[in-house]
Amino acid sequence: MARLIAARRTAVVPRGGAFARLRIEDLAAPVVQAVLADAGIAPARVDEVILSNALGAGGNPARRVALAAGLPHAAGLSIDRQCAGGLDAILLARALVDSGAAEVVAAGGAESYSRRPLRLATDPGGGPPVPYEQAPFTPWPERDPDMAEAADRLAGRLGITRARQEDWAVESHARALALDTAEIVPLMGVARDAFPRRLSPRLLSRAPVVHGSVTAATAAVAADAAAICLVVSDRVAQGRGLALLAGATLGGDPMEPGLAPVAAIRAVWRGEPLQMAEVMEAYAVQAVAVVEGAGLDPRLVNPGGGGLARGHPVGASGAILAVRLFHGLTSGRGLAAIAAAGGIGTALLVEASGA
């Protein structure tokens, strides 16, 4: 059974901040080197680097990261499953290790929202290129909602008020302010997440409305970050780390992408006791809906705060959940889950050594 024996990340910094000039490899290569040092694994033993990146322009960023980290023999595998990609990279590493195709895989995600390319769609009729912000996630424009609109629609259907969303955001920030920073690799002098703050009623009331009941306080900000996990075989692990018990990625209704993780959670978790859960907070309403829909205990969810307090470096966000589990779970079982545009949900169930 594959095991996760080291996991680190950079701080999460809103776009345009301290990481604004960094390339994908500048973000991720130091984190790869850190997890290898933590685990005492020589670079030559790494069989593959799997990296999620959602906003880049191709060019196999995983290979660029491998080269920058001193792993020239690792070909690099880049994936794009949008928000779920960082967690899916870890599931792919697990599959490689469990199949015997690899023994040591560095997997995770890296995103520079600050340096994302401008997007232009060419006109087959010869007209000027047309700029666009959101890539299509379904073949049907009428069933491919803006994410904030989808979040507000979900809030209305489930009766999750703005006040409840704000309560979740306040708790997320409060927990993040107390977070131990041991999981963070200092970069550009930044060793703490830049965004957590004390949210007062006045700040909440002044937050700009994004769509309907969703405000800037209850939607995660665009951000830059990288997160890497080292997934290895039992032989290499020698009892260390977290056992990767089960993982699932499932498609759901593209009109309600926020609910997609519920089915994935049910596919890997049968209701046994959990000590910790990490659920992505792209929107407060999405986190509330997933926690309630899957029957999770909210007291165990995101004990160090979530995406609302950190920010959302799209391709890295899922891997950050796994990093949080690795550093926070001392016994028993833990769960990570994330939603992605297009109606995709991913979940991972882990167990601490000696549990």
- Asked about 73 being catalytic, the answer comes back as no
Catalytic residue among 83, 173, 229, 327: 83
Question: How far is Cα 106 from Cα 51, in angstroms, rounded to an integer?
Answer: 8
Catalytic, out of 73, 173, 229, 312: 312
327 is catalytic: no
Q: Which residues are catalytic?
A: 83, 312
